Each structure stands twice: as structure tokens, then as C-alpha cells.
Amino acid sequence: MLECANCSGFWLDVPSFEKICADREQQAAVLGAASQAPQNVFRTGKVNYVPCPECSQLMNRINFARCSGVIIDVCKKHGIWFDRDELSSIVEFIRAGGLEVSRAKEKADLEEERRRLRQEQLVADIHHSTGVGISDPDSTRINGIASARGLLEFLLE
């Protein structure tokens, strides 16, 4: 872990961050350290892309777990830069069940995408087997039949 005395931010490698995410004792230590950190850090609100301390490439900014609201700077190869309070916000998000909510949302999104793809494939198969083109007047009827069939398959799975 590298810490910046000027901004109270710090750098963690990926294995250390994963350990914090998985270990409640590590999370408690993070929350304890956050409460002791100085509060007089000024933020401009301007977005700055931060270079990785190891490879000097600009890091990607991502919303942790896609829904936490905590934007972190990530180098996929080397680690994560946390501005002041970001890691403690992530720990609070995890402890409040945020990861489970995020995983459930991703799973539901994947299921919806699979259903949509099955529907499109079914319509394409019907069009192919019947020779009916998309601009054909029977196309709407075939799409309706395919939709009903896809819905029944989804409900009966």
C-alpha cells in the first residue's frame, strides 16, 4: 500500500483490495483507519485521470460494482487508486449488501439479454423456415407467434 500525505489517497494492489472486499476484519480495519484520517482535504470537483504508480499509464475511472456510486481509478494490471474516503465508502457499500444487489441485477440483466437473443433467433428461424421476409405482411403475425412461443418457453423453464 502506498499513501499520499498530501491528499490522503492511497494505492492498493489487486490482491490486497480483493482481500479487503472478502474479509470483515480487514473491512473493520479500513473503517477504523478512515475515522482517524484528517478531514481538511480540499477537493476541486474536477475529474483528473491519474497515472498508475507502477506503469505510468492513465488509469480507467469506474463505478465500483457498477452501482455503488464510488468512482475509483483502476489499472487492470497493477491496482487501484483510492481518493480519500473511497475505500471506506466501498466497505460500507459491501457491508450494506451492495455486492449482492449488484450481482442480482447483473444476473437479471443477463437473463433478459438471453431471453431477447432467444426471441430474435426464434423469429429468424421462423422467417428462414417459412420464407417470409421482414417486409412481408405476414411478418407481424409471425413475430407475434414467435413472441408468444418465446414467452411460453421462458415461463415453462
How far apart (Å, rounded) are the C-alpha atoms in residues 115 and 143?
Answer: 15
Please check whether residues 15 and 87 belong to one and the same domain: yes
Number of domains in the chain: 2
How far apart (Å, rounded) are the C-alpha atoms in residues 59 and 7?
Answer: 18
Q: Where are the beta strands (DSSP E) in the chain?
A: 2-3, 10-13, 60-63, 71-75, 79-82
Domain finish residue from 96, 116, 140? 96
How far apart (Å, rounded) are the C-alpha atoms in residues 42 and 9?
Answer: 12
Please check whether residues 28 and 88 belong to one and the same domain: yes
Please check whether residues 55 and 117 belong to one and the same domain: no
User: Stretch 11-35: mean pLDDT, rounded?
Assistant: 79
- Choose between 36 and 109: higher pLDDT: 109
Please check whether residues 150 and 132 belong to one and the same domain: yes
Please check whether residues 73 and 131 belong to one and the same domain: no
Please check whether residues 9 and 71 belong to one and the same domain: yes
- pLDDT tens digits along 91-111: 999 989 998 998 899 999 999
Please check whether residues 108 and 36 belong to one and the same domain: no
Instruction: Assess whether pLDDT exceeds 70 at residue 23.
Output: yes
Strand partners, 110: none
Please check whether residues 61 and 19 belong to one and the same domain: yes
CB 59 within 8 A of CB 49: yes
Please check whether residues 60 and 112 belong to one and the same domain: no
Per-residue model confidence (pLDDT) at position 80: 94
Mean pLDDT of the chain: 80
Domain finish residue from 75, 96, 117? 96
Please check whether residues 77 and 128 belong to one and the same domain: no
Please check whether residues 29 and 84 belong to one and the same domain: yes
Per the structure, the complete domain to which residue 114 belongs is given by 102-156
Strand partners, 80: 12, 74
C-alpha dihedral (19, 54, 69, 67), degrees to nearest 10? -60
Domain finish residue from 76, 96, 116? 96
Instruction: Assess whether pLDDT exceeds 50 at residue 1.
Output: yes
Any idea which residue has 468512482 for its cell? 71
Cα separation values, 123 from 85, 136, 137, 142, 155, Å = 50, 13, 15, 7, 18
Q: What's the whole-model pTM score?
A: 0.61
Q: Read off the amino acid at residue 7.
A: C
54: which DSSP letter?
T
Closest CA to 53 of 76, 86, 79, 72: 79
Please check whether residues 151 and 75 belong to one and the same domain: no
